[in-house]
Each structure stands twice: as structure tokens, then as C-alpha cells.
Chains A and B, each alone.
Chain A
Amino acid sequence: MFEYSGKAYCFGDNINTDYIISSRRKKDTINPQELVKYIMEDIRPGFSKEFSGKNILVAGENFGCGSAMEVAAQVVKSAGFDVVLAKSFARSFYRNAINNGIIPVEIDTSDIKENDNLRVEMNDTTITVSDLNENRTYTGPAFNGKVKDILLSGGIVNYIKNNFSRDSHKEDLHG
């Protein structure tokens, strides 16, 4: 149903949304494509020059804590991280991630190392993350219901376009 591969870029615990993208940068633009160059700048200067193409962000506990600002999720997505693996996510980032078509996967990331080649596969019941360098696999439950539908639509905008019309105002919008 879903397959994705990329290199691991590893961060620690409690990475807050201010670290992902500082509020002071939003004075110039809120365009995530332009903000990508400042991603994680306060804790890993020059990070935006380290990656290209599609990759996987790996973190510890409580990823995305702090402000609920959605631009943080958009910057992660614009940087080519369509999948984020973490031991746990802060609730606001988790939800913002799904709405922007980022797949947030909760697994024990302790043994995943920088630059490891990872593969993520999701079927109807299971998400499997394979660390090809370490020869390890991790599994978790697949998404279901509306969350799965939003992710498969590529985010909330497409989901609403596909499922909601002006005429049926109270249609099952996000129930």
C-alpha cells in the first residue's frame, strides 16, 4: 500500500517546533520551500545543506513539542522528510504531520544511526521499518479510519477536496 526509502537523519529527545523552524524566520515568509534553508538551524547549523531528495527524519521522545505552528510540519515535508520516526510525538505535531501527508511512525529509534538506509512499508495492518545497515526491523500498527484516508490522500487539503462538497455542508468532514 505504501513504500518509502531514505537515509536516516537523527535527532535527540524533545525537538520542539521552534528548533524545527524559528518563529523569527516567519517575519520574512511563511513559504515552507523558502524556510527549508533554516530547518533545525539553532541546534544543527547548516543542516539544510546535508540532505537532498527523499529521506527520513529520526528522533527520540516527544518530537514536535512546543508551539502548535503547522509551518514546522510543512518545513519537514518540504525538506523531503515524508516519514518521521520517533519514540513518541507531541500531539500537535502528530496531527499536523498527518494533515500535511507526513507519516509519523512511533517505534524505538534508539539503535537507528545517522545515514542508515531505511525502508518503510505499510499494509492494511502493519507498518514495518527496516534498517538495512543494522539488519533490524521494527513494526507497529498501521493507520486506520480517517487518519489512513487523510494520509493516502496526501494530506487534509486533498482529503477535503475529495470528500466534501459545498452542497453537503455537514458531510462527514473529519469525523
Chain B
Amino acid sequence: MGKTIVEKVFSKKSHSDVHAGDVITAEVDTIMMNDASGPLAIDFFEKMGVCKVAHPERVVAIIDHYVPCPNSKVAQLQQMLFSFKDKYGIKLIPSGGGIAHQVLDELKCVAPGKLIVGCDSHSTTHGYLGSVGIGIGASDLACSLISGELWFKVPETILVKLTGSLNKGICGKDVALYLLKKIGGDGANYKCLEFTGSGLASLSMDDRRTICNLAAESCAKCAIMSIDDKAKQYMDCRGIDYSDFSVSDSDAIYAKEIEIDLSKVPCMLSLPSTADNAVPLAEKKGLRIDMAVIGTCTNGRIGDFEEIDRILSKTEKKFAVETLVIPASAEIYSQMMERGYAKKLIDRGAMILPPGCGPCCGSSPGTPRDGFNVISTANRNFIGRMGNVNSYIYLASPSSVACSALLGVISTEEDLDV
């Protein structure tokens, strides 16, 4: 019987021949904890009483949620990660390095065939380069610290066949919201989303990251992009070994197959208060916006800022509303400085916040005021997500957010010319 990519990765990591539905124990390549769930994971680890980390060199702690540290209570929690690092010799990236999912990528932990667990649901992002990235809870993380392994139920796979190519001004975020609308907020629960097809070629590597990131909003266990020539070229440039990559067998069994013609994907917008509550953005043009957020683990990458810079170059306008910009990592921030993107953003009235999760889940500053409509490049728009239940969050692509922030109403690039 043929295998999907995720079945192949789990077969390799469990040293056995596995298929969807099998419950197996698999060896983990990278274990990530952040300052939101890491302290709880350490608490579990200590209560379990084993006091031994199987492979400290595979463990990375990253401070990204509360950046910079807002108060003494969080300082104590973050100290737990530093103490754990001193005691067990794990790697730690302190405040300001960036968001865990981006930092792991920059550390080259993400590569085809790798199994990565993180106590953060958006660990699905790592699938953009063929890793199986799974978000887990703190107690499971503690178990993986102790043994270097974890039990998994091998997921079924939903195959997403991409055809056609993206129209001008449409990006990975629009594709992701389009897919979420199609399958719903639990459309991939317990399952892997595997992306393949000729349409892949028109998606940049950053588009692919965004799509895998948002897979979490359909409750996917993981997401995997097929490795194509563009991905290989990208890995060649970055010196990442892809000899371990696999493709699904022609007789692999899928739970479901979905086809998306990329040329039919319009500019999308998620209305409050779930990401799958998405509509073509055109339906809401003109809606008042009070605040804009650009960044997060969904869209805080250099390709996203390049796109925003292109939008800014088309107009002399300043941002009409408070616009917060959060680079996904220090490396990206530095590139934004080098390329002049940061200066242009600041000159237009934006405020650049330290690399990290920013106000996305209300953990770092940037809380909207009562009655505010916020347009954001983030992945979640739950009630109160940014720390105020009396504000309303709309999700869109970097270019749509930039255009809306410039005009003060929901807009796209074509509205700038009017």
C-alpha cells in the first residue's frame, strides 16, 4: 500500500512501516518551547521527576510572546527557561530574536523529512519546507524532553491540488483564507494537509509559510508542501540538505482531495471572529478601519515587507490609522533596515515593535481601544484576542492591510489609484 508524505516521515521516525490510524512512538528532531507554554512544560517536567533531558541539543527555548518582558511575574516565568537552559544545556534564544517558528527556520532546524514538535499551535508552519511540524501541549512537550520521543496517531491526509497561478496582487494569505472558507475551522482536525500540483510554482517560499501557518486554523495536525524546483533552489541557496525529502506514492490513500485553481482566488478578508469566516475582500470595501497590524508568524517575513514597500512606493500617503509593524525576527528586521523598508514605514507613520508575537494574542503591547476595527495580517481574530473584547479584528494579506491602513477603510491596491 502506497504512502503519503506524512506516513513516510512517521515510518522513518518510528523505524517501522506505518499508515494513517496507527498509534506509534516516533523520535523527534527538534523540540521547541516558548515563554507562553515553556514554563508550564518545565513545571510538568519537574513534577514527572525524571530530571533528565534525552537530547538537549535538539531542544530550543525561544522568548517570543512577552517581548520585551512586561512585568515581574512574566520575568519569573521567563527566568524558568533561562534556569532550565543552564541546568540542562538546551539552546535559548532570548527576547528580541524573533518568533519561534521563524527562528527555528533561521537556525536551519526546518528541512524535509524532519519531525518538529512545539508547544505552539502554529508549529504547522514548518511544513513549508517538508517538515512535519506539530503543535503540542506542555505535558506532551515535557514527555518529549525526557525521552526524545512522543506518541502520535499517524494522521490521515487531505490532498490539496493547486492548479493555475495567482493573479497580480493576490498572495499566499488569500489562498490560505480561501481554503479555510472552503473547509471550515475544523476541516482538517486530526489530519495533515498536503499541498501539491503545478500551482505550487507560483507561490513564493513566504507564501508557503503563510499557508502552512494558517493550516492550524482548520485544526490541522500538520501541513506539508511538496518539494518542487523552487524549494530545492531555495534550499541550495541556504545550504539546507534536502536529500531526505519524499513524495507521496501514486497509490497513497487520502481522506479527501480538494482542488484549488489559484487564478480564481480573490483578495480575501476574514471577518470577526474566526479565520474561516472569510469573504472576498471586495464585499467589505469601505468599512472603517481604526488600527492596522502588520507582522506575526503569519506575515512578518521579508517577502511580506517587500510587498508592503511596493505598495508604499505607489503613493505618498501616510498611514491614516495607528499602524503597528512587527518583524518576525531580528534577521528580518535587519534586512528591513538594509533595504530601506523600515525607514519608509516609519516616515509614513508606522510604529515598529520588537521582533516577536506582538499584540496578536494580547501578550505584548498594542491593545486596540473600545469599538476599534483592526485590520491585521495575523492568523486569529477571536473575540478579545488582542486583549480587548470590545474591538473587532479583520484578517487580510500584507498588501490589503497596508492599503487599508493608508486609506482608513478596507481597500486593495486598485483603490490607491483613485
Contacts and interface: CB of A to CB of B under 8 A. Distances in A.
Contacts of A136: none
Interface in A53-73: 61-62, 65-71, 73
Contacts, number: 151
A132 interface: no
A16 interface: yes
B161 to A, nearest CB: 24
Contacts of B36: 23, 26, 69
A157 B138 contact: no
B49 interface: yes
B139 A68 contact: no
A61 B361 CA distance: 23
Interface string B183-206: 001100110000000000000000
Contacts of A68: 37, 119-121, 135-137
A29 to B, nearest CB: 6
Contacts of A146: 23, 151
B335 to A, nearest CB: 29
B119 A24 contact: no
B44 interface: yes
B174 interface: no
Interface string B69-94: 01101100100000000000000000
Interface stretch (A2-10, A86-94, A116-124): A86-94
B380 to A, nearest CB: 7
B222 to A, nearest CB: 10
B368 to A, nearest CB: 12
A33 B79 CA distance: 22
Nearest to B367: A24
B147 A169 contact: yes
B66 interface: yes
Contacts of B65: 23
Size band of the interface chain B makes with A: 35 or more
B168 interface: no
B47 interface: yes
Interface string A35-78: 00000001100000000000000000110011111110110000
Interface stretch (B50-58, B96-104, B227-235, B254-262): B50-58
Contacts of B363: 23-24, 26-27
B408 interface: no
A156 B136 CA distance: 14
Size band of the interface chain A makes with B: 35 or more
Given A91-B190, A166-B50, A70 B40 contact: yes
B248 interface: no
Contact of B147 (A27, A42, A161, A170): A170
Contact of B221 (A22, A29, A91): A91
Contact of B73 (A29, A65, A157): A29
B212 to A, nearest CB: 16
Interface in B271-322: 274
B185 A62 contact: yes
Given A14-B185, A18-B361, A169-B147, A67 B121 contact: yes
Interface in B7-27: 23-25
B383 interface: yes
Contacts of B384: 18-19, 22, 24, 42
Contact of A164 (B138, B146, B274): B146
A14 B383 CA distance: 12
B39 interface: yes
A73 B384 CA distance: 19
Contacts of A19: 382-384
Given A27-B74, A28-B73, A156-B143, A174 B37 contact: no
B389 interface: yes
Nearest to B361: A23
A48 B296 CA distance: 32
B186 A90 contact: yes
A174 B147 CA distance: 9
Interface in A161-175: 161, 164, 166, 169-170, 173-175
Given A27-B74, A90-B219, A173-B25, 9 more contacts: A22-B362, A67-B120, A69-B137, A71-B40, A74-B40, A91-B219, A156-B143, A173-B143, A175-B23
14 contacts: A14-B274, A18-B361, A19-B384, A24-B362, A26-B36, A26-B363, A62-B189, A70-B137, A71-B37, A100-B139, A157-B44, A157-B48, A161-B48, A174-B25
Closest 9 CB pairs of A and B: A70-B137, A96-B137, A24-B362, A42-B384, A62-B186, A99-B139, A175-B25, A68-B135, A70-B138
